[in-house]
Chains A and B, each alone.
Chain A
Amino acid sequence: MAKVDFAVPELKEYPEIPALKMDAMAHSSPFKSKPEFQGPLGFPGELVENWQQQAIAKMGDLLGKYRSLRVYLDACVKCGACTDKCHYYLGTHDPKNMPVARQDLMRKVYRRYFTLAGRLFPQLVGAQDLTEDVLSDWYSYYHQCSQCRRCSVFCPYGIDTAEISMAAREIMDSIGVGQKYCNEIIAKVYRIGNNLGLPGPALIDTLEGLEEDVYDDTGVQVRYPIDKAGVDILLVTPSADFFAEPHVDGLIGYGKVFHEAGVSWTFSSYASEAANFGMFIGSYDNMRRLSQRIREAAIKLGVKRIVFGECGHAWRVAYNFLNTLAGPWDFLDPRYPVPQHICEFTHELIQQGKLNLDKSQNDDKVLTFHDSCNVARASRMGNYPGGQFDIPRAIIRATCNHFYDMDEETIRDRTFCCGGGGGLLTDDLMELRVKGALPRMEALNNVMREKGVTHMAAICAICKSQFTKVLPYYGMNMDQIVSVHQLVSNAIVLTPRDDDQDDDDDSDD
C-alpha cells in the first residue's frame, strides 16, 4: 500500500451525506502544463499578459458557441437537488465540490461580465470579478470534477456540470493555464499515436507475444493483427489494453471473439488510441483532430466497420461525437452502426448462439458490475434506451455463474464515478482519487459482505486503472477489478482451425 498523507475515508454500511467542511480540498490541484505540451495543442505556453481580458473574451466566445453553457449559467435556481450527488463532495466534504457550487465558480464571473443584474448589483446576485484568486479556485476545483454527469441526472433542468468544467478548462488553456496530465497526453497522441506513447514496433511486438501466449494457453492460433489493410473491422481500443493488467486480458478476449466470429480485423498503429482527451479539456478542435486520425486510418486500411474496445469516455466520444467530428461514414458498410461497441458485437454473437461459452471457467469469481459513467449517462449500446446497462450484464451472465448487482442507487444511470475520470487519473491527484472513490467502494464493500462478491467487472480503461490503484487504500485487493472481455476470454471455448498447425510454425520464428 502506498504512503498516505491524508486520511482514507471510512467505509460505512449506509451512505451518509456529510456536513460541509470549508476548503477541505483547496490545496488539491494538478501539476500545470509546460510550454512544450501547450504548443502542439494550439495553446499559449504560459499565462498570457492580459489574461483577464482574454479569459472573458474566450468566455464570450464559448457562450455564443455552446447553448449548454449559455442556458446552464442562467437557469440554475439553487434548488440544491444536486448538492449531495457528486462523489467528490461525498468523499471530501468540501462545499465547492457540490455541483452547483462548482458551477457557481464560473457563474459568478458570468454574472459580473455578461448579465445586467451582475453588472448593476454584484453583491446581491453573488457576482464577482475574475481575480487571481478566482482563477486559482477554477484551476483547483474544475480539476476536481470528473465530468461524470451524475449531477445532471437529478437536476430539474438537466444542468450538466461537466459542460461547465469543460468550458472552464478550455478558457484556462486559452490563457496558458493548462493541466500537465491531459495536455502532455494529447501531444503524445499527435506525435506517436496513443496516450501511452507506444510506437508501432512496440505494438507489433506486444501483439506477437500475445498470439504466442494464447496459443500456449489454448492450442488455438488466435490472431492479433495490426495495420492489416483490406480487412472487415478496424478495432480502436484504449492503449492501456495493450499491456496493463487487467486491460490486456480484455484485449485477449476481443481477439478470441473475432476469431470465433470468423471476421477479419485489425488494429491501427496510427489510430492506436480510443481515448480522446480532447473532451476532458473541452477543446472541440483537439477532440476533432484526435478523431480524424480514426477516419484516416479507416480510409487507409479500407475497412468496412469500426468497433471500439472497452473504454468509457472513448465510447462517449465514439457513440455521440464521432459522426459529428469525423463523419460522415458513408464509405463504410451501411448495415452496421458506426461505430460499434465491442460489447454490442459480442452480445450479438451470444444471442445468435455463435459463441461456445463455458461459464464454469469463471467459477472462482462472484461478480458485480460497475457502470462506467460515460457509458451509462452519456451514450448507449444496442437499439433501445438503456441497452448500455443490459448488454454488458447480459455478457457477464452468459460467461459467469455468479453475478450480483450493487445497490440500485449506485448503478445504471445513478452509477458513481470511479473517482479517476475526466482527466484526473494522475498521481498528483491521488488524495482526490481515493476520496472520490468512496461511494463506489462503499457499495462494493456492501455486496462483498452481503453476497460474497469477489470481483468487479468494468468496461472502461480509466475505471480499471483507477480501481487497481485505489482498491488497496480501502483494504481490498488490486486484482479484484476485471475486464468484461476478460470474463469472455476465460469462458470462451475456441474452435480450432485447419491452419492452426501451419500458423504455429511461422509464429515461432
Chain B
Amino acid sequence: MSFISSVFAYLYYFATLVLVVGLLNKIVQYARTPAPLKIPTTPAPITRTGVTLRMLREVVFFESLFRGNKWTWLFGWIFHFGLFLVTLRHLRYILEPVPVVITMIQPFGIYGGIAMVVGLAGLWARRFLVDRVQYITARSDHLILGLIVTIGLTGLFMRFFMHTDIMQVKAFYQGLYHFEFHLLPADPVLLIHLLLVAALLIIFPYSKLLHAPGLFFSPTRNQVDNARDQRHLAPWARRLEQQP
C-alpha cells in the first residue's frame, strides 16, 4: 500500500464525512427555521401539485433565470446539464454492479464533460466582461469556477490523452466500502483530479454551492398561494398569540 494511496483513502473518508454531515446539518437547519409569513412570488400556484411543478421547472429548466438573463441561462444550463451527465457516468466507479442505465449513458457522459467545461468558460467570461457581474464577484467565486474547470479538464485529459486504469480506480473506491485499502494508479493527472474533487466535496456545505439545497427551501418558490384559505402560523408567532 503506497503512501499516496492511503493519504487519498483517508482524504476521501474525511471529505465524504464533511459533505454528508455538513449538508445534513444545513438541511436540518433550513427545515427547522420557520417561514412565518406567506411570501410566494406571485403569480404563484394555488395547490401543492402546482408548487411541485414550479419547483421542477426551476430545477430542470432554470425557469426564472431564463426570464432573467438568456446568456447566463444558456451557459449555466449547459454547465449543469453536463455536470449531471458526468455525475451519472461517474457512478460506475462507486456502484457495483453498474446499473444498465449508467452503462447506456456512458457515451453521453463524455459530451457532458465537454459541455460542462464550455458552460463554465462562458460563466467565467461573464465575470470579466460584464461590469456588473465583475463588481459582485468575490475571489471565492473565481476559485470555485477554477476548481470545477480544472476537475473537468483533468478528467477530459484522462479521457482523451492519458488513459488511466479505470478498473484499478474502481477497485480503490470499492475497497473503501470495506476499509480495505487498494492502490490507486500512480497517475499525476488522476491524482490532481481526485484531490480537487475531494476539495469540492469539502467546501460544498460551506460555500455558495448551498444553492442546490437552498432552492428547495426558498419560501418565494415553495409556498402555496392560499393565505386567505388557510391560516399560516409559525411556532414562534403562535407564542405571541398566547400572551395577553
Residues in A295-326 with C-beta less than 8 Å from chain B: 319-321, 323-324
Number of A-B contacts (CB under 8 A): 211
User: Which of A69-77, A202-210, A239-247 lies at the interface?
Assistant: A69-77
Residues of chain A lying within 8 A (CB to CB) of residue B231: 323-324, 327-328
> Do B65 and A154 touch (CB < 8 A)?
yes
> Do A75 and B34 touch (CB < 8 A)?
no
- CB closest chain-B residue, reference A98: B132
Q: Per a CB cutoff under 8 Å, which of A20, A81, A153, A154 touches B131?
A: A20
CA distance A98 to B69 in the complex (A): 15
Does any Cβ of B come within 8 Å of A485's Cβ?
no
CA distance A387 to B209 in the complex (A): 36
Which of B42, B50, B207, B227 has the most CB atoms of chain A within a 10 A radius of its CB?
Answer: B42
- CB closest chain-A residue, reference B143: A124
Does any Cβ of A come within 8 Å of B41's Cβ?
yes
What is the distance, in angstroms, from B163's C-beta to the closest C-beta of chain A? 34
> Do B43 and A156 touch (CB < 8 A)?
no
Does any Cβ of B come within 8 Å of A402's Cβ?
no
What is the distance, in angstroms, from A284's C-beta to the closest C-beta of chain B? 7
Residues of chain B lying within 8 A (CB to CB) of residue A100: 136
Residues of chain B lying within 8 A (CB to CB) of residue A327: 231
CA distance A192 to B50 in the complex (A): 44
Interface residues on A, range: 35 or more
> Do A71 and B218 touch (CB < 8 A)?
yes
What is the distance, in angstroms, from A30's C-beta to the closest C-beta of chain B? 25
Query: Given A124-B139, A154-B67, A324-B237, does the pair A65, B33 have CB atoms closer than 8 Å?
Result: yes
> Do B237 and A284 touch (CB < 8 A)?
yes
What is the distance, in angstroms, from A448's C-beta to the closest C-beta of chain B? 27
> Do B232 and A158 touch (CB < 8 A)?
no
CA distance A138 to B211 in the complex (A): 25
Residues of chain B lying within 8 A (CB to CB) of residue A71: 30, 214, 217-219
Does any Cβ of A come within 8 Å of B37's Cβ?
yes
CA distance A80 to B126 in the complex (A): 9
Does any Cβ of A come within 8 Å of B72's Cβ?
yes
Residues in A63-87 with C-beta less than 8 Å from chain B: 63-68, 70-72, 74-85
Q: Per a CB cutoff under 8 Å, which of A79, A156, A414 touches B215?
A: A156
CA distance A386 to B42 in the complex (A): 7
> Do B138 and A124 touch (CB < 8 A)?
yes
CA distance A106 to B64 in the complex (A): 24
Residues in B170-199 with C-beta less than 8 Å from chain A: none
User: Which of A169-177, A372-380, A455-463 lies at the interface?
Assistant: A372-380
Q: Per a CB cutoff under 8 Å, which of B42, B62, B143, B217 touches A385?
A: B42
What is the distance, in angstroms, from A337's C-beta to the closest C-beta of chain B? 5
Query: Given A65-B236, A70-B29, A156-B62, does the pair A78, B132 have CB atoms closer than 8 Å?
Result: no
Residues of chain B lying within 8 A (CB to CB) of residue A79: 65, 69, 72, 76, 123
> Do A65 and B34 touch (CB < 8 A)?
yes
Query: Given A124-B143, A154-B68, A338-B228, does the pair A70, B33 have CB atoms closer than 8 Å?
Result: yes
> Do B138 and A323 touch (CB < 8 A)?
no
Does any Cβ of B come within 8 Å of A125's Cβ?
yes
Residues of chain B lying within 8 A (CB to CB) of residue A116: 206
What is the distance, in angstroms, from B238's C-beta to the closest C-beta of chain A? 10
Does any Cβ of B come within 8 Å of A273's Cβ?
no
Does any Cβ of B come within 8 Å of A117's Cβ?
yes
CA distance A414 to B43 in the complex (A): 11
Q: Per a CB cutoff under 8 Å, which of B126, B206, B214 touches A115?
A: B206
> Do A321 and B38 touch (CB < 8 A)?
yes
> Do B64 and A158 touch (CB < 8 A)?
yes
CA distance A64 to B32 in the complex (A): 9
CA distance A68 to B141 in the complex (A): 23
Residues of chain A lying within 8 A (CB to CB) of residue B72: 79-81
4 more CB-based (< 8 A) A-B contacts, given A65-B34, A125-B140: A79-B69, A98-B132, A158-B220, A385-B225
Instruction: Please list the residues of chain A having a beta carbon within 8 angstroms of any beta carbon in chain B.
Output: 17, 19-20, 63-68, 70-72, 74-85, 95, 98, 100-101, 104, 115-117, 123-126, 149, 152-160, 163, 284-285, 288, 319-321, 323-324, 327-328, 337-339, 376-380, 384-386, 388-389, 413-414
Give 9 nearest A-B pairs by CB, closest first: A154-B68, A75-B214, A81-B68, A158-B220, A385-B43, A126-B138, A80-B133, A83-B132, A156-B65
- 17 intermolecular pairs with C-beta atoms under 8 Å apart: A66-B34, A68-B218, A75-B210, A75-B214, A79-B76, A82-B68, A100-B136, A117-B207, A124-B140, A149-B41, A153-B64, A156-B64, A156-B65, A156-B76, A157-B215, A320-B39, A328-B231
